[in-house]
Structure 1
């Protein structure tokens, strides 16, 4: 199978959307990612996956810290901004969690230290030790078959 077919097949798995953030020398860096999962409760560990060609890779390696921001359904613009899809946009303002920049009003923010790093094909897997978290109520922004979705989209389809 070719890479396009594999990518299309992986798009059949509905995911939430995160924005990964870190800071180096007073400069905030962010990247949209949907490769995120919980790994362990004791210790509290999560995993993110970053392409070896992504600029964010060197930023996380240098800072040894990152935050995961799980986006709410009304935060699609953040996903697009940090994926480089919106070139012109309002400046993003950040809050702080355990010293790391985080997106305001995300459903979940996790402040992490790099716990381990693994090479996996054309990606690097970072296991993060969660030091702090914040949560709020709301519905997640979803991604399925290359499109943004919401829980309400699926509820409406079920009623038809």
Structure 2
């Protein structure tokens, strides 16, 4: 099977959209990710899959911490910024949660410590123990991704 067919098939699984972020040497780093999931309730674990070519890959390995910002449907432009589809990532004004950079007004912020790395092909899955959670009290709807396009709940 070819790569395009595989991508198309995986694109039929709709996902939420997150920005994964960390800080190393007082410099913030962020990446849009839809390869994110909850892993365990006890202990509270989540996972994110990061391409070895992504700039944030080494930063997470160095920091041993990352934040997850679950985006709402008004934050499509932010997602595109951190997916390197539009410019502005360097000047983005992050908020801070538990000494980690996060996306302001996201639906949820998670502060995680890396507890395990699993090499998986050209990616590494970073298992993070959730140290704290912040849920936005405003009513919001998640930003979704399906078949290569952003979607929103109706």
TM-score by length of 1: 0.92
Distance of 1:90 and 1:43 partners within structure 2: 35
Distance of 2:53 and 2:90 partners within structure 1: 27
- The aligned counterpart of 1:123 is 123
Q: Structure 1 residues 89, 32: closer, same or farther in 2, change over 3 A?
A: closer
Aligned residues of 1:97 and 1:133 also touching (Cα < 8 A):
no
Q: Structure 1 residues 89, 23: closer, same or farther in 2, change over 3 A?
A: closer
Q: CA deviation at 1:91?
A: 3.4
What are structure 2's unaligned runs of at least 5 residues? none
CA deviations on 1:5-62 (whole Å, 9 max, x unpaired) are 0011000000000000000111100000100000011110000000111111100000
Aligned residues of 2:82 and 2:89 also touching (Cα < 8 A):
no
Distance of 2:64 and 2:78 partners within structure 1: 23
Q: Structure 1 residues 89, 117: closer, same or farther in 2, change over 3 A?
A: closer
What are structure 1's unaligned runs of at least 5 residues? 153-160
Distance of 1:20 and 1:101 partners within structure 2: 9
Matches within 5 A, 1:1-160: 1-88=1-88, 91-136=91-136, 137-152=139-154
Give aligned pairs, total: 152
Distance of 1:25 and 1:122 partners within structure 2: 26
Which structure has the greater CA radius of gyration? 1
Q: Structure 1 residues 88, 43: closer, same or farther in 2, change over 3 A?
A: closer
Distance of 1:43 and 1:66 partners within structure 2: 17
Distance of 1:143 and 1:77 partners within structure 2: 13
Displacement over 6 Å in runs of 4+: none
* RMSD of Structure 2 on Structure 1 (CA): 1.3
Q: CA deviation at 1:94?
A: 1.6
Q: CA deviation at 1:117?
A: 0.3
